Amino acid sequence: MTDRQTHFGFKQVPWSAKKQLVGRVFDSVADSYDIMNDMMSFGVHRMWKRFFAEFANVHPQMQVLDLAAGTGDISALIAKRLGAGGQVVASDINVNMLAIGRDKLINKGEVQKVKFCIANAELLPFPDASFDRVTIAFGLRNVTDKDQALREMHRVLKPNGQALILEFSQVNSKVMQKAYDLYSFHILPKIGKIIANDSDSYQYLAESIRQHPDQNTLKSMILDAGFGHADYTNMLNGVVAIHRGFKLQQESLV
């Protein structure tokens, strides 16, 4: 039987091949990932992440799953909001990215409330109703089966829990969109070549943003995954957005 197709940036690839292709991208950029984030966003990604962590409304005793945790920025911000009984599980499918994140958090002395786990967002190795919050920042667009990942996020959440997604989205201004396209497709790959000696990976990252569902489409996908309520908040005119899915109390009875 012919393998179904999906997108890898603007290319069409076999469904079964995308995970490996994405893995190669992040293996390539892992060592320069943090400095490239600062260069690409002029440091603004740090503000987005801080706001995202605050938006999650984490309480001291909560159990939090941070998917696509990468180099640990979100996990560290959430860990600071947890008390002695709270914990964040920093999970990623890419061993190299997670190892760099673990080393970074150890060096900063911020690892006490963080547990690390290699896991695929589409098949999470956790029991039902394990977490009060599930977060994923700049990672959902790289998942092959986004619908399945959203269902898994819903499954592992406790009733009244929330899934929070920080991701690049649809820009609302035509003028800003033109400037954004110019930067993404002409300047970003050149920065990647200079800093990481890898223009192709950053070309993919720019393309993957354009292939990601827009705000309303992703909101519908969250609801279709079983969440009782969903909303989103745009930042920087829609360059990025925070989506939330709420698992309602009565859903546990279905």
Tokens of 186: 């002409």
Q: What whole-number percentage of the chain has pLDDT above 90?
A: 58
Q: Which residues pair with 50 in a beta bridge?
A: none
Domain ranges of the chain: 5-253
User: Which CATH superfamily does the domain covering 5-253 fall into?
Assistant: Vaccinia Virus protein VP39 (3.40.50.150)
> For position 253, what pLDDT does the model report?
41
pLDDT (tens digit per residue) in 139-167: 999 999 999 999 999 999 999 999 999 99
Task: Pick out the chain residues at pLDDT < 70.
Answer: 1-3, 250-254
- Determine the Cα–Cα distance for residues 66 and 177; give it in Å rounded to an integer: 30
In whole angstroms, give the CA distance from residue 247 to residue 18.
29
The pLDDT value recorded for residue 2 is 53
pLDDT for 254 equals: 42
**Phi, psi (5° rounding) for residue 137?**
-120, 120
pTM comes to 0.91
CA max distance for the chain: 54
